[in-house]
Amino acid sequence: MRKLLWLLGVGAVLSLSGWAQKANWPRELVIAEVPVESAADYQARYAPFLDYLKSRLGIPVKLFLATDYTAVMLAQAQGQVHAAFYGPGSYVDAIEKAKAPIEAFVKEDSIRSGTVYHSLMISKKGSGIKTLADAKGKDFAFVDPESTSGYKVPMTYFCLEAKIRPREYFGRVLFAGNHENVILGVARGTIPVGVTWDTGISIATSKGQIRGLEEFEVIWRSDPIPASPWAYRKDLPSDLKEAIRKAYLEFKDTPEGKKWLEARGLKGFAPASDKDYDPFRKINDALKRPECQL
Same domain for 193 and 164, yes or no, is yes
Is position 82 within any domain?
yes
Question: What CATH number is associated with residue 181?
Answer: 3.40.190.10
Residue 267 resides in a domain: yes
Asked whether residue 125 is domain-assigned, the answer is yes
Question: Is position 13 within any domain?
Answer: no
Residue 239 lies in domain: 28-113+226-276
- The answer to whether residues 241 and 252 belong to one domain is yes
- Indicate whether 8 belongs to any domain: no
Whether 89 contacts 148, CB under 8 Å = yes
pLDDT digits (tens, 9 = 90+) for 261-270: 998 889 999 9
Residues 261 and 162 in one domain: no
Rounded Cα distance between 192 and 114, Å, is 30
Q: 75 with 208, same domain? A: no
Q: Over the stretch 82-129, which tens digit does the pLDDT of each residue have?
A: 999 999 999 999 999 999 999 999 999 999 889 999 999 999 999 999
Percent above pLDDT 90 for the chain? 79
Determine the pLDDT at residue 42.
80
Do 269 and 194 lie in one domain? The reply is: no
Distance CA 189, CA 191 (A): 5
Residue 222 has pLDDT above 60, yes or no: yes
Do residue 214 and residue 231 come from a single domain?
no
**Same domain? 243 vs 256:** yes
Total domains, the chain: 2
| Helices 198-206 and 255-263, packing angle to 10 deg | 110
Judge if 243 and 100 occupy the same domain: yes
Query: What tens digit of pLDDT does each residue of 33-70 get?
Result: 998 776 677 888 899 999 999 999 999 999 998 889 99
Residue 40 lies in a domain: yes
- Label residues 264-288 b or e (16+ Cβ within 10 Å = b): bbbbbbbebebebbeebeebbeebe
pTM > 0.85: yes or no = no
How do beta strands 83-85 and 29-33 pair? parallel
Q: Could you tell me if residue 119 is left (phi over 0), alpha (psi between -120 and 50 degrees) or otherwise beta?
A: beta
Domain membership of residue 150 (yes or no) is yes
pLDDT of residue 112: 85
Q: Is residue 258 part of a domain?
A: yes
**Helices 255-263 and 39-57, packing angle to 10 deg:** 150
